[in-house]
Amino acid sequence: MKKLMLGNEAAARGLYEAGCAFVSSYPGTPSTEITEAAAKYPEIYAEWAPNEKVAMEAAFGASLAGRRSFCGMKHVGLNVAADPLFTIAYTGVNGGMVIAVADDAGMHSSQNEQDSRHYARAAKLPMLEPSDSAEALAFTKLAYDLSEQFDTPVMLKMCTRIAHSQSVVETGQRVEPDAKPYEKNPGKYIMMPGNAKRRHPVVEERLRKLTEWAETASINRIEPGSSHKMGIITSSTSYQYVKEACGDTYPVLKLGMVWPLPEKKILDFAKSVSMLVVVEELDAFIEDHCRNLGLACVGKAHFPRVDELSQNEVAAELSQAFPAGVKLGGDIPPRPPVMCAGCPHRGLFYTLAKNKLTVLGDIGCYTLGAVAPLGAMDTTICMGASVSGLHGFNKAMGGESEGRTVAVIGDSTFMHSGVTGLINTAYNESHSTVIILDNSITGMTGHQQNPTTGFNLKGDPCAKIDLESLCRAVGIRRVRVVDPYDLAACDAAVKEELAADEPSVIISRRPCALLKYVKHPGPVHADPDKCVGCKSCMKVGCPAISIRDGKAVIDSTLCTGCGVCTQLCKPNALGGKEE
């Protein structure tokens, strides 16, 4: 049956059809929906792990137990899971194991733009790269066959435009492979030096065999062209841009496997054309390999290493540029993302801004506390870096910073890798103040459960990690909870904990305003007769408040009635219900 599916949903369908039995992932845009969609198949056990390293190790365990397993993550998540990645490359698998990594060229929702293909080369693992949803499904199934045939984890590389584009797929039936028996095999699975030394040559030999396989694999195909003026090597979404821009004019070597590369096939293809062109997003990965093979080729001299490509860039270089439409004169103000109206983070960030604190930030919706008018953030690096960074900052600066610097980290991010930083804070004792922004959900990636919410990925009730007890257990004695809608309470908590001569944790607790179960009082009323136009309410950066003709106006389609602005309105012009 023909269906429109997101690339991520199609990959999940591939998991289902391949008989995958076990999925463990941590959410991250643009990878999240693979695991969410997989969880909808009752035949697949699926879970959110606290982080990508745990997810990959759990998936390895399921493979060891003889079942087909999967873990999925975004590019930066693979950095977290890189430790197991490089060593399960040595052990190989028992049941087939597939690792999906989704890159975010263009940084639609990421802190950097790394090219994950380098991991496949560095860890010596095969990597498949689909170019639409149909391939996402087919390549996921193929990845399991390769994994078991070559005794290796197989990487499936997605990117934003494949993961988050719907295209047509035809679905098939699930196969139910028998679990492979688990047999103790220390030489294969205990990677201490003596054994690992014997495994490394196995890995090199496996890569040689995979290169041979790649030479004749149908997923590395040559599409003929009418002109041999040039030949284009490409893959993934870049392939689609090439076909859109050039049609069938030039021959195309379309790579479905981007590591290891089919060297003989590339050399033969290069011989058949007058000029070799490589079109790929981000780094010159294929291009560099072509040069290593001694080939002259055109690539990053013409195409950018930054941002995502489109058919427009390809057309401008290789065929005829598309003429742009009319550009309007005058400034069009940008519309950056903002904290939602009613967001519980707002009150807390207002408090930090008001007290002019230095704020080490982290990864989540609350990174938006960095933008005007709140501007209450100094750093954002990676998951967990706020807590550990604050410790180093305070140790280096001492009392000078301890009284005016905080870390902010979300509940899910804290479980991911904040808790280890907090352990360091307690163990090596910096008088740091860590604020956990507990909105009872993993917000930015679209409301995933996590170990603090009391529900699992399938939506069933489960163990709920108690943040207060956890913080106390690692050695923090000062742990307190505040309601971020209560500005006076936030201010008191922040001032008191900063003044304390020991590490402390403030849990700013209120569920995300977008959660379905959260009931809002409804929009507040702005009384133009009482409003003096002081703009105090504008300091919280709420998208529901604006000034018109010198008076505050509330957008009743957005306002939830959280009441943060009403606490700042001295003349009581904001309050009550919209009439």
- Residues that bind another protein in the complex, under the rule CB under 8 A: 2-4, 6, 29-30, 32-33, 108-109, 132, 161-162, 164-168, 237, 240-241, 243-244, 310-312, 322-340, 365, 367-368, 371-373, 444-446, 538, 541, 543, 545-547, 555, 557
Please, what's the b/e burial string for 189-212 (b: 16 or more CB within 10 A of its CB; e: otherwise)? bebeeebeeebeeebeebbeebbe
Q: Which is nearer to another protein, 275 or 514 (CB)?
A: 514
Distance of CA 62 to the CA centre of its chain: 23
Q: Which is nearer to another protein, 107 or 190 (CB)?
A: 107
Q: Which is nearer to another protein, 237 or 450 (CB)?
A: 237
**Smallest separation (angstroms) from another protein to the CB of 132:** 8
Q: Which is nearer to another protein, 25 or 240 (CB)?
A: 240
- CA-wise closest residue to 223 among 215, 214, 232: 232
Q: Which is nearer to another protein, 270 or 408 (CB)?
A: 408
Task: Collect all residues with Cβ–Cβ distance below 8 Å to 403 and sequence separation of at least 6.
Answer: 498, 499
**Smallest separation (angstroms) from another protein to the CB of 271:** 27
CB 415 within 8 Å of CB 463 = no
**Smallest separation (angstroms) from another protein to the CB of 343:** 9
**Smallest separation (angstroms) from another protein to the CB of 330:** 6
Q: Which is nearer to another protein, 39 or 444 (CB)?
A: 444
CB atoms within 10 A of CB 533: 13
Cis peptide before 523 (omega within 30 of 0): no
**Smallest separation (angstroms) from another protein to the CB of 53:** 22
Q: Which is nearer to another protein, 35 or 147 (CB)?
A: 35
**Smallest separation (angstroms) from another protein to the CB of 355:** 20
Laid out side by side, the sheet with 45-48 consists of 45-48, 22-25, 69-74, 97-103, 154-159, 127-128, 257-259
Q: Which is nearer to another protein, 36 or 411 (CB)?
A: 36
Sort 397 into a burial class: Cβ within 10 Å, 0-12 / 13-18 / 19+. Answer: middle
- CA-wise closest residue to 264 among 222, 234, 223: 222
Give the DSSP letter of residue 356: T
**Smallest separation (angstroms) from another protein to the CB of 560:** 12
Cα dihedral: 125, 126, 127, 130 (round 10): -160
Rounded distance between C-alpha atoms, residue 441 and residue 448, angstroms: 6
**Smallest separation (angstroms) from another protein to the CB of 286:** 19
* DSSP helix/strand/coil, 320: coil
